[in-house]
Chain A
Amino acid sequence: MGEVKLLQGNEACVFGALAAGVRFFAGYPITPSTEIANIFARELPKIGGKFMQMEDEIASIGAVIGASCTGMKAITATSGPGFSLMQENIGFAAEAEIPCVIINVMRFGPSTGLPTHPSQADFMQSRWGTHGDHPVIVIAPYTAREAYRETGRAVNFSEKYRVPVIILMDEILGHLRERVEFKEEDIVKEVNRKGPEAGVPFFPYEHTDDWIPPFANFGSGYRCHITGLIHDRTGFPTNNPEIVDQVMRRMNGKIDKHIDEICRISTVDVEDAEIVIVAFGSVARSAAEVVRIMRSMGKKIGLIRPVTLWPFPDREIKKAAEGKKAIIVPEMNLGQMVREVIRTIEGETPVHPLNRIDGELITPRDIIDFIEEME
């Protein structure tokens, strides 16, 4: 700790993952996430890990799920087009409750879009990209330092809650290098998945007190059946309505049950603020600059930055936004997170979207002009 270096956002994700115990990467390189694959290819063999370049993103997420079943901590990285291809298997991992981490370095879409330009238009896709009610955790860092720490946290959540976790980066954060000084709170502590208890009959999808069934790694001597069909505690398919209801409520509810640990927001000067900006990822950097500039002019502006995007930190945002004159939600899309903010605040405070969809970052100037015009 105390170490100072120039670190790229993508690079930081890799080292955060390695610190959390990731030893398997399978992927298909795509701008602007390619550095992640490059660096894993360089680093994993040095420490006994495995790197596989696959034929496409469908195979990549498949390999990650397979590796995870054997007990390896596994990750992949991609961008919009690849993230779309991965959706089916992300649903499989959610339903079969297989730990895995997917880094999506967002680029401008739809389709192949603008490969080298940023976007935040996968906000909703990261939550609802695969069909059916399913659990997922999505985390959005905003600096290289945070990319390190939050990727570590993502790996730990995937192991602890048996759930796919998505790190939602964007082109700007992925590609920029910046001075990082690691501190005590950046240390990533490894969390391992819970295994079967000796002397107790083992069911791979047992409804335990914490709602997270123990995981028997392949080859560890237990019989497991893994399927995307809705299954009972034995892992075999069922369509018994009572059991289906129970399984679905447990599988989705396991995240809500631990929401206090999972949700994280960061605030700047919110307490006495009249106007509050809600922003994530690199747009939050512009917003933080706005707070700095406007505070120096005596304007009461604050920033709420959700670090955990999904589950959306309803309670935290509702509380921080209470009694404010206005909320502004700048996003590099046509308005996605703003829907969640409106839902959360439930009409108590006016909420204004500020959108930019020209492939460029929303600037501090954009936000200041918007605020001045609003007043």
Chain B
Amino acid sequence: MNKRWEVRLIGTGGQGIVTVSIILANASVKEGNNVVQSQNYGPEVRGGYSTAYVIASNKSILYPKIDSPNVMMVMSDTSYKKYLPELAEDGMLIMNGHTEETLPDKVYFVPITDIAHDKVKRPITANIVSLGVIVGITGMVSEKTALEAMEAAVPSRALEINKKAFALGLEAGKAALENK
């Protein structure tokens, strides 16, 4: 990898986006990159805004924050407008579902929660669907390492359902990329 990835995930507390960011970070470490992952949230336990981010680079990472992400994924529209201006000029925006708002050129609409609800039939897996979508669209880590990192992060009793969620997300991500 000869690129610096700055990925911001935006959602609501309880949606599992911090978990997704940790899985992405672990996968990127496995691929030999320097990685920093963190999250911001408000004082509420759930329901408040929640954002997580991952920086991956082949250079050492000193400053531990992101200024202009080249990937932004929005799971719920609570607070994404605040972050939208940050998106790098040719950055990719991944939106869960559709919106009529004016958005940057490189926007990918993927019905992430619908996939979790209708196809995986487990709404709670929406975050793992989103992991598949990110990997499918960006290719920032390989499918194999992403899958391995995901398997290490979920409880064994939920492994099969999460594998299904990941595969469906991956498929949807690739389709969104092709349709662009």
Contact A116:B43 (CB < 8 A) given known A176-B36, A176-B37, A177-B38: yes
One of B22, B39, B67 near A6 (C-beta < 8 A): B22
Contact B35 A361 (CB under 8 A): no
A172 within 8 A of B: yes
**Ranked 4 nearest A-B pairs via Cβ:** A289-B63, A176-B38, A289-B62, A177-B37
Q: Nearest-CB distance from B64 to chain A (Å)?
A: 5
* CB pairs A–B below 8 angstroms (17 shown): A5-B29, A6-B26, A6-B37, A115-B43, A116-B40, A175-B39, A176-B38, A176-B64, A177-B22, A178-B35, A179-B29, A179-B35, A285-B64, A288-B62, A289-B63, A361-B65, A363-B65
Q: Report B12-40 residues with CB < 8 Å from chain A CB.
A: 22, 25-26, 29, 33-40
Please count the residue pairs between chain A and chain B whose beta carbons lie under 8 angstroms apart in the complex: 58
Q: What residues of chain B lie closer than 8 Å to A177, measured between beta carbons?
A: 22, 25, 35-38
| Chain A residue nearest to B22 in the complex (CB) | A177
B61 within 8 A of A: yes
| Chain A residue nearest to B40 in the complex (CB) | A116
Q: Nearest-CB distance from A196 to chain B (Å)?
A: 47
Q: What residues of chain A lie closer than 8 Å to B29, measured between beta carbons?
A: 4-6, 179
Q: What residues of chain B lie closer than 8 Å to A5, measured between beta carbons?
A: 29
Q: What residues of chain A lie closer than 8 Å to B65, measured between beta carbons?
A: 172, 361, 363
Query: How many Å lie between the Cα of A31 and that of B43 in the bound state?
Result: 9
B42 within 8 A of A: yes
Contact A6 B25 (CB under 8 A): yes
| Chain B residue nearest to A365 in the complex (CB) | B67
| Chain B residue nearest to A31 in the complex (CB) | B43
Q: What residues of chain B lie closer than 8 Å to A4, measured between beta carbons?
A: 29
Which of B22, B26, B35, B64 has the most C-beta atoms of chain A within 10 angstroms of its own C-beta?
A: B64
Q: Other CB < 8 Å A-B pairs besides A6-B35, A177-B35, A285-B64, 11 of them? A: A6-B26, A172-B38, A172-B65, A176-B38, A177-B37, A178-B36, A178-B37, A179-B33, A288-B62, A288-B63, A364-B63
Contact B35 A285 (CB under 8 A): no
> Chain B: how many interface residues by the 8 Å CB criterion?
21
Q: Nearest-CB distance from A77 to chain B (Å)?
A: 18
**Interface residues, chain B, CB within 8 Å of chain A?**
22, 25-26, 29, 33-43, 61-65, 67
A282 within 8 A of B: yes
Q: Report A203-222 residues with CB < 8 Å from chain B CB.
A: none
A233 within 8 A of B: no
A119 within 8 A of B: no
Query: How many Å lie between the Cα of A254 and that of B42 in the bound state?
Result: 43
Query: How many Å lie between the Cα of A179 and that of B63 in the bound state?
Result: 14
Q: Report A278-304 residues with CB < 8 Å from chain B CB.
A: 282, 285-286, 288-289, 292
Q: Nearest-CB distance from B20 to chain A (Å)?
A: 13
Q: Nearest-CB distance from A131 to chain B (Å)?
A: 31
Q: Nearest-CB distance from B158 to chain A (Å)?
A: 20
One of A116, A175, A176 near B42 (C-beta < 8 A): A116
Contact A175 B43 (CB under 8 A): no
Q: What residues of chain B lie closer than 8 Å to A292, measured between beta carbons?
A: 62
Query: How many Å lie between the Cα of A175 and that of B38 in the bound state?
Result: 6
Q: Nearest-CB distance from A138 to chain B (Å)?
A: 22
Contact B63 A286 (CB under 8 A): yes
Q: What residues of chain B lie closer than 8 Å to A178, measured between beta carbons?
A: 34-37, 61, 64
Query: How many Å lie between the Cα of A285 and that of B35 in the bound state?
Result: 14
Q: What residues of chain A lie closer than 8 Å to B62, measured between beta carbons?
A: 285-286, 288-289, 292
Q: Nearest-CB distance from A305 to chain B (Å)?
A: 11
Q: What residues of chain A lie closer than 8 Å to B34, measured between beta carbons?
A: 178-179
Query: How many Å lie between the Cα of A5 and that of B2 in the bound state?
Result: 21
Query: How many Å lie between the Cα of A177 and that of B25 in the bound state?
Result: 8
Q: What residues of chain B lie closer than 8 Å to A175, measured between beta carbons?
A: 38-39
Query: How many Å lie between the Cα of A177 and that of B56 in the bound state?
Result: 12
Query: How many Å lie between the Cα of A285 and that of B63 in the bound state?
Result: 5
Q: Nearest-CB distance from B126 to chain A (Å)?
A: 22
| Chain B residue nearest to A4 in the complex (CB) | B29
Q: What residues of chain A lie closer than 8 Å to B39, measured between beta carbons?
A: 175
Q: Nearest-CB distance from B160 to chain A (Å)?
A: 25
